[in-house]
Amino acid sequence: MVTKLLILAAAYLLGSIPFALVVGKVGYGIDIREHGSGNLGGTNTFRVLGVKAGMMVTIGDILKGTLAASLPVLFAVDMHPLLAGIFAVIGHMYPLFAGFRGGKAVATSGGVILFYSPFLFFTLIAVFFLTLYLSKYVSLSSMMAGVYAIIYTVFFTDDIPLTIVVAVLTTFIFYRHRANIKRIINKTEPKIKWL
């Protein structure tokens, strides 16, 4: 029991690593929370600091989800990897190391899926970019990828834990995009210009 709690705590702490804050302060001397949307995630980093910083943050956020989900396997603990993954996503949204003001759960959720189901992860990426190409909204693309994940797991797998966790992660993503949804409805959500 103690070992399981330690794994969950470690997963949360991994998720709490605020890559956007670290990259912004160390590489650029700014607090990303004071610029753009104020969000500690890849999208805001891309907009404020550019492609190189945005890629570093996005990859870091993905890999911390992947590593957290792998902890039960690495330490041979009888725990479902997706449970540890959920704790990493909670850490990303409410990071201990950044005043509990974190990101929107997208990249870290993707990292959890990458560990558990690489095929689903790469099809999620395809859905994300297809929606992005058609809509130009990053937020909408993130939410539609989550919806696709639910549909995929319900109709094309019999993996009940995966379906449940994907539904939970998608709920997190929609909840964290509440303001974006309102802006999309009001047609005030920023669109990307590079695709």
Res 195 pLDDT > 80: no
pLDDT at 147: 98
Average pLDDT over residues 77-83: 97
Q: What is the mean pLDDT of the chain?
A: 96
Q: Is residue 192 part of a domain?
A: no
Q: Is residue 194 part of a domain?
A: no
8 Å CB contact between 65 and 117: no
Position 18 scores a pLDDT of: 96
C-alpha to C-alpha distances, 108 to 39, 143, 162, nearest whole angstrom: 14, 14, 16
Number of domains in the chain: 1
Q: Where would I find the beta strands (DSSP E) of 49-114?
A: none
Q: Does 195 reside within a domain?
A: no
Q: How confident is the model at residue 1 (pLDDT cuts 50, 70, 90)?
A: confident
User: What is the spatial distance between Cα 149 and Cα 158, in angstroms, rounded to a whole number?
Assistant: 13
CA dist 43 to 28, 81, 82, 119, 142, Å?
16, 27, 25, 24, 11
Q: What percent of the chain has pLDDT over 70?
A: 100
**Tell me, what's the pLDDT at 86?**
98
173: nearest Cα among 128, 135, 134? 128
Domain presence at residue 103? yes
User: Does 118 reside within a domain?
Assistant: yes
CA angle centred on 142, ends 62 and 64, rounded to 5°:
10
Give the model's pLDDT for residue 37. Answer: 86
pLDDT of residue 36: 87
**100 assigned to some structural domain:** yes
Q: Pick from 151, 103, 81, 104: which is nearest to 123 by CA?
A: 151
Residue 145 falls inside a structural domain:
yes
Kindly state the average pLDDT of the residues 180-195.
92
The answer to whether residue 193 is domain-embedded is no
Which residues span the domain enclosing 87?
Answer: 2-186
- CA dihedral (53, 56, 60, 66) in degrees, to 10, reads 140
